[in-house]
Structure 1
């Protein structure tokens, strides 16, 4: 338990004078020991987590022990740090740790393991797209007869036997198994890693030094707080439990009903708080009151969930509108009707009108969304495109430096001992000033979009002259700086023509309506959300393939009838039901005011009028979006 005085001070700084933590939130903040905290959508999980962390940092750091916060995204890390600034904590210092799960494994296990296996190589984690490009190029060298299986790269985990011997944990076709292992080994040994490789290294390191590592961590940390625990995959979760089981208090925060990463592989979720409560005697706390939306939305979620959520409630101070069911026979009419409804409610509710949050249309998959917006296309990640471009431009600079080096040695009739790879390593290791100069040039190109101006050319020449001064000071003669800098500039222009800045800056919008997959909106808050009809396919590409419309699967759950699918005999239908419920729960819990779902008429064609009356009786506003006959 924290002190009353300390708690009141933190509460006031975080919530202000008007609000107070509710009973459930206070219990979670004061929870001791190992615990699972089930936090419903909009229930203030992050706020509670920040308050708990702030109180730990101010009152509970004893015996030089700190607290470790692990989450899944940099956005979440920034959100936690911003929350701590409200209470006057601007820096998270040793022995405390706040970072993503990837940063945790890299720092405490993976990079240590790699240095032991390959002491002369500094590893880096590559962006996914950059890794796939490298994978494709190397794989073709081993197996030119088939297209590289880049789409499956994220599924494979290396099993490290030694620095020279590798296997895969997963079963892979024997047709390309050897070439696949050789490709992943070559990239791995060059120091270029995926996040999956980080986990492989962590597994190897914990297997070898597990007891020593557990002792070291228990001396440093008093508590481990895992945020968004439902997003932890089986390998990550098992590794964390191996490190913290019985020696450090481990508290996990999240919403198991929003676990989407197993949506397509039908595996069980790694974090199962109900099981842990029954079998591992781990305490179970809940945050069941949402401050995001009113009771009209909360009511839907009580039964539209993979487990009936009877005690979930909304915020009575928020006027959420009736949920809307858009029944349609043609997708063309749905978005226009949705837009009209948004206009209607903006005209009658000022709070809804002035909200700057998104008006969203959400689908299970990209093809589902394209049925409702033929112009929809996935926008590539800004950071991914930027890193790809940065990497290409850096390579061009290295090639320019190599040309300078070759020219200089031709003047003196010396044999150059430098390759392009040597130059890159040399600059990375010893010539920080040159690297900074190159970074400035790249920044001008990507961030400031300065390419053809004179100062950009001058920056290139300055970098080349600095390289000559540092590396070739004993060589005399005229170095053709202008021609090499022109080569660099021209190559950059030709290389970057394919990148359109507009495609990596603006989100996909259609007159202020945002379109995205359910995965892309997880964690967001909208003013209005429409869930499109989705097609769920079980046992795809097999003789037993079956297709289900989500609307048909969901209808009874939406109108307040929870059916225990575990008692169903049809395994395919059970899997489809769980997927449909997960999608609907995540999507319909995003909005503050307006929640809607589009259902194809044929899904409820049997006893249509009776079903419409049931929906209205359950609190739904039904809008028939039928095309004129």
Structure 2
């Protein structure tokens, strides 16, 4: 598919402020065959993908095509970025037959919800409910299934089997074509009670109370019917998966099962060398399936050279004329001297170079472990600022109590959606609203706990369920809601707003970064190994990726603090090819 000069002018005006896509970006925008697109840091992946989607949607609309476009992103932030770009291009929303959202949103909408509607006659789904609600359900279920377990002498066993039901995941066994369960702790009596535990867990999930991983289990069950798989495949001809290296492996497998078809175009876009979640496997790559966008606009050759030394597979190229500064190995003796020395370097570069001074990106200290923050700046604790929920506390409390009641009731004759409506519309719930208002005005004292308890027990008694007392963990959760966000923390991050974990800045662009490596962390050894200073060493591939991510954030300058005992004369000499090695005066 080739787009005209006028069409490129449109997206370049919107996305690049009049600048132009380079040859690699244009080739990607016009590429419509199934490929894995390896996009280096600063290669313009997100912008190019947005342009591709704008032009594709316009093409489909102008030609009256009903081919669907499916855009799967890793986060809702990416969804918003693409939607904003589309709106600027005059595409108000991504509507039928198209889709944009996270991988969980995709499978929940097109697989899990229709599966529950088809199999269980409802689509009232609750994801990530309180652990205690699940365990209380399992306790009652097993108690009904095996009444002997309620005897006092089996009390410990009763509690133990409830925990095992909760902790042992279920999965679809391809060989037996049935739901199975993993014996995580090698329990000797597992096989004897396995079927009861599976039934207890499924009974809870059939009512719509799911954990986030259940998305892929029930999607798998839904897609076992080939006609449903065919419906989804036929709807979406074009499928784009952004940040594929961070996408859940189970989800990627299911997407491939659906869309690996000659009639479909499926493109996975991202950077496998930025796979930094410790349990996430490194994506398998075959060169004939790849298209590489390795021309970076973010930094110059001074950053690209050490970056390619650390990750030769990336083979990053840079735009001619793009200027960066030779990175610095900052040699220290005392940990507390690192941060002031870094600040002095920033002041020095601002005085001496206008490009550095005029860059509007942030300067950040990057740490591998949160506990290192206080060692970089004495007396501080790592804190990640959180946004306050916009849902009122009154609504949070009411929703918590309603979900709790629904979770306590086992009613085989009532569908979960009908049960929730029954609870919401019950006269006692309307009576509870006034009590909640009094709680917000005053506090949750013993009398008000008893009032809430009595209302809950009234509904539970109507459904022949066990009642609760004021010691139930529900009331601790209520108190947690009442106390959350009650005070704005003073000086939340003023002292440490430039200290972040490497994981937290992935995807950002910085002016400069300082990385520290304490407690024999692997990053220094990886650096020395990649420069041939250390012989073969054992480290996780995610740690090398972590160093790659940290170094590739910057446009101008990278500083790596290394203790003097870790640098031999040979190391200083070899590193000086790409780095400035300087001590702290």
| TM score, norm. by length of structure 2 | 0.75
Three-state SS of the structure 2 residue aligned to 1:195 is: coil
In structure 2, relative to structure 1, the CA distance for the partners of 1:428 and 1:330 (3 Å cut) is farther
Three-state SS of the structure 1 residue aligned to 2:365 is: strand
Contact 1:223 1:250 in 2 (8 A): yes
Three-state SS of the structure 1 residue aligned to 2:569 is: helix
In structure 2, relative to structure 1, the CA distance for the partners of 1:105 and 1:17 (3 Å cut) is closer
In structure 2, relative to structure 1, the CA distance for the partners of 1:224 and 1:396 (3 Å cut) is closer
Equivalent residue number for residue 294 of structure 1:
300
Contact 1:13 1:86 in 2 (8 A): no
Equivalent residue number for residue 596 of structure 1:
559
Contact 1:299 1:313 in 2 (8 A): no
Contact 1:157 1:196 in 2 (8 A): no
Equivalent residue number for residue 405 of structure 1:
none
User: Aligned equivalents of 1:183 and 1:344: distance in 2?
Assistant: 66
In structure 2, stretches of 5+ residues that fail to align are: 140-155, 407-413, 443-474
Equivalent residue number for residue 421 of structure 2:
426
Contact 2:72 2:240 in 1 (8 A): yes
Shift of 1:142: 7.2
Contact 2:36 2:267 in 1 (8 A): yes
Give the one of 489, 493, 509 matched to 1:525.
509
Shift of 1:32: 2.1
Equivalent residue number for residue 252 of structure 1:
268
In structure 2, relative to structure 1, the CA distance for the partners of 1:290 and 1:170 (3 Å cut) is farther
Equivalent residue number for residue 553 of structure 1:
526
Alignment of 1:134-533 (within 5 A): 134=133, 144=159, 156=169, 158-159=171-172, 166-168=179-181, 171-174=184-187, 184-185=201-202, 187-206=204-223, 208-209=224-225, 211-246=226-261, 247-261=263-277, 263=278, 265=279, 268-269=281-282, 271-273=283-285, 275=286, 277-278=287-288, 282=289, 284-305=290-311, 307-310=312-315, 312-350=316-354, 352-353=356-357, 355-369=359-373, 371-373=375-377, 375-379=380-384, 382=387, 392-395=396-399, 425-426=420-421, 452=441, 494-496=479-481, 498-500=483-485, 508=493, 510=495, 512-516=497-501, 518-533=502-517
User: Aligned equivalents of 1:148 and 1:2: distance in 2?
Assistant: 58
In structure 2, relative to structure 1, the CA distance for the partners of 1:422 and 1:169 (3 Å cut) is closer
Give the one of 45, 68, 71 matched to 1:69.
71
Equivalent residue number for residue 546 of structure 2:
583
Three-state SS of the structure 2 residue aligned to 1:527 is: strand
Contact 1:534 1:551 in 2 (8 A): no
Provide, for residues 330-356 of structure 1, a one-character-per-residue CA deviation record: whole Å limited to 9, x for no partner: 322222222222233333445544555
Three-state SS of the structure 2 residue aligned to 1:553 is: helix
Shift of 1:318: 4.4
Shift of 1:510: 2.6
Equivalent residue number for residue 153 of structure 2:
none
Alignment of 1:121-132 (within 5 A): 122-126=124-128, 130-132=129-131
Equivalent residue number for residue 35 of structure 2:
35
Q: Mean Cα displacement is larger for which, 608-617 or 499-508?
A: 499-508
Equivalent residue number for residue 111 of structure 2:
109
Shift of 1:531: 2.1
| TM score, norm. by length of structure 1 | 0.70
Equivalent residue number for residue 91 of structure 1:
93
User: Aligned equivalents of 1:170 and 1:524: distance in 2?
Assistant: 41
User: Aligned equivalents of 2:500 and 2:528: distance in 1?
Assistant: 23
User: Aligned equivalents of 1:171 and 1:110: distance in 2?
Assistant: 26
User: Aligned equivalents of 2:559 and 2:137: distance in 1?
Assistant: 48
In structure 1, stretches of 5+ residues that fail to align are: 403-418, 454-489, 536-546
Contact 2:382 2:496 in 1 (8 A): no
Shift of 1:231: 1.1
Aligned residues: 521
User: Aligned equivalents of 1:99 and 1:260: distance in 2?
Assistant: 22
In structure 2, relative to structure 1, the CA distance for the partners of 1:339 and 1:192 (3 Å cut) is farther
Shift of 1:372: 3.0
Equivalent residue number for residue 448 of structure 2:
none
